[in-house]
Structure 1
Amino acid sequence: MNWSSSIDGAFPKPLRVILRGVGQVFFCCNALTGLIFLVALYIGGLSAGAAATVGVITSTVTAYLLGFSEDDIDAGLYGFNGTLVGPCLFLFLEHSPQLWLYVVLASILSTVVLAAMMRILQPYNVPASTSPFVLTCWMFMIAVYAFDSFSRGAILPTPLIPSEVSGVAAVPVDMWVTALTKGVAEVMFADSIIVGILFLTGIAIVSLRGAAMALGGAVVGIIVPTLLGANQTLIEMGLYGFNPVLTMMAIGWVFLKPSGRSAVLALLAGILTVVCQAGLANFLAPVGLPTLTFPFVLVMWMFLFAAAKSKYWSDTAAK
């Protein structure tokens, strides 16, 4: 939307770059959208908002200091992984003064990992996306077992052998709004209906198709796990929704030319993301790690690699 671009350009450059980094979590290179996302995070919780702020500033400044592409930095591409690192570590690890240092170090590393992943994937025309955030957070979560100053939080999964789910049932109709909005909000680890609505609003400011893909991913994150017999509580919390949200946005709006065909492909990718998430959750259970957004990253990579071989999408694959 032209008016949102005008507002984006009105922000002072340093602030615009930082806010674009927040917006890029949902592929939105827009400072106004980033501001809405950041305000939403603070509404969801002061710690999460502050951690995201520290993360995006640290990762962006690191990119400047290391001399990475200014065009990429200005577009916010070195900010969104840091934005995710902060709230993630505050969610899964016990809060302590040292945790802030942990967030800063992880945000710095996410920038270095992103640059490395971009270099590796560039010949294949595939984006690194949130893979640096996933790899960095996994490393820091495992590392806490070696340090006395840190300990795992109650939400971090306990290492165990996977077992069959219990509490399987269809999501009640009156819980659909909750599950839909939380499916969007959980992209940034927010367990809040209001945050989900604000995230969708921020995306819609940039693109109605992008918002539609995000909402479609949230719907997939309810219907598919329900049909497959997943745990109802997890579905209602939006934990099966946030990965399909990102997958459908990536395939149906960002990296392939928006069309009816790419929308169908996005739907298929969203469905398979649910299965991939369930598989990865069981795969990671023995080491006690959450899947984070890796199901989205893995499915997106596979579909973009496949699109390059198709006569329908080979000329529209990711830049």
Structure 2
Amino acid sequence: MRSLVQYLLCSTLNGFTQIFLQRHQGCGLLIALAIGFNDHRLLYGALIGVITANAMARCHGYLRADIESGLYGYNAALLGLMITWLLGFTPSAILLTAALSALSSSLQHLLLGHMRERQGLAGYTLPFVLIGWTVLALCTHADSANVRPLTEHSLNQWSALEGILRGMAQVILLSDPLAGLCVFAGLLVSDRRGACWALCGSAVGIYAALLISAAEADALEGLASYNPALAALALSQVHRSSLAPTLGIVLSIIGGQVFGRFGIPPLTMPFILACWAVTLTMRHSQRQPHLQPAG
């Protein structure tokens, strides 16, 4: 019984921490607390997603180590957050979260198999994005698919710092700087270098948004900085040089602008595309034959 409780606790907390590409239960607890302190209904939705996805993975006989690591839970956690944010914590939202979380588990299994057996690219949050776009398209009765009321912000030293923290929080669909601080603390516990790169990515994202003449309220809300934060965090874990995460920040900012121009909710797709582009570039450069000097 004790081992079962430990398994459930471990897989659930890691489901939260894998949103930020970590495997640390303390980090996962801080992320869950950040959500719960802002809106306990969002936490309930995320928990339903994680538990359902993990249960589906267990029923299909997927690797126990992957389930415990949270690899099947994090996309479902994000889906639970988004669906609850759109529809509230209602019976229909609960059923939709459970059904789509189970679907995300199967899709994640395919992506993991492709990555491991064929050396494919990491899927990251692709199941969340693909299913999330479908949900946003179907929820036509929602006031606006990816727009939340913005608080008026005036640019100063403190609002800039709050905006950077909001960029961290927007990964989990929150706009509270205290939630971002909680996320940053969790990342510091798990990966100090990655935490610093994520903070840097969020800061550059805000600065770039202001340079592009975005409204201060939009920029300081963190909506343009969570993708650069994720890209910097992900690439800093794989590449020790600063070049890869820096490229990831730049490409994710460009990707976010492209999605915005076409009116497509970006979700975390700019982050995914930026990481794929950097990874493919690095692979290509490593395969190039080194020229030998003429003797």
TM bucket (normalised to shorter chain) is 0.7 to 0.9
Task: List per-residue Cα deviations over 1:143-190 (Å, max 9, x = no partner).
Answer: 345xxxxx32x34159xxxxxxxxxx9943331111011000000001
Task: Work out whether residues 93 and 141 of structure 1, in 8 Å CA contact, stay in contact via their aligned partners in 2.
Answer: no
Q: 1:34 to 1:157 in 2, by over 3 A?
A: closer
Q: Does 1:91 align with 2:80?
A: no
Aligned residue identity for 1:53 = L
Task: Work out whether residues 22 and 83 of structure 1, in 8 Å CA contact, stay in contact via their aligned partners in 2.
Answer: yes
- Give the one of 145, 156, 160 matched to 2:145: 156
- Give the one of 175, 178, 184 matched to 1:200: 184
- Give the one of 56, 61, 66 matched to 2:55: 61
- Give the one of 265, 271, 276 matched to 1:301: 276
Cα shift at 1:119: 3.0
Unaligned runs of 5+ in 2: 148-152, 289-295
Trace 1:3-14 onto structure 2 (pairs within 5 A): 12-14=6-8
Task: List per-residue Cα deviations over 1:53-91 (Å, max 9, x = no partner).
Answer: 111111111111111122211211111111111111122
Q: Does 1:130 align with 2:125?
A: yes
Task: Work out whether residues 171 and 226 of structure 1, in 8 Å CA contact, stay in contact via their aligned partners in 2.
Answer: no
SS in 2 for 1:68: coil
RMSD of aligned C-alpha atoms? Answer: 2.3
Cα distance between partner residues in 1 of 2:287 and 2:173: 35
Counterpart position of 2:253: 274
Unaligned runs of 5+ in 1: 1-8, 146-150, 159-168, 314-319
Cα distance between partner residues in 1 of 2:146 and 2:53: 27
- Give the one of 257, 262, 265 matched to 2:244: 265
SS in 1 for 2:62: coil
Aligned residue identity for 2:145 = L
Task: Work out whether residues 91 and 155 of structure 1, in 8 Å CA contact, stay in contact via their aligned partners in 2.
Answer: no
Counterpart position of 2:73: 79
Cα shift at 1:95: 5.6
Cα shift at 1:28: 1.3
Trace 1:1-319 onto structure 2 (pairs within 5 A): 12-93=6-87, 96-122=90-116, 123-145=118-140, 151-152=141-142, 154-157=143-146, 171-253=155-237, 255-256=238-239, 258=240, 261=241, 263-283=242-262, 285=263, 289-311=264-286
**TM score, norm. by length of structure 2:** 0.88
Kindly report structure 1 stretches of 4+ aligned residues shifted beyond 6 Å.
Answer: none
Cα distance between partner residues in 2 of 1:121 and 1:251: 17
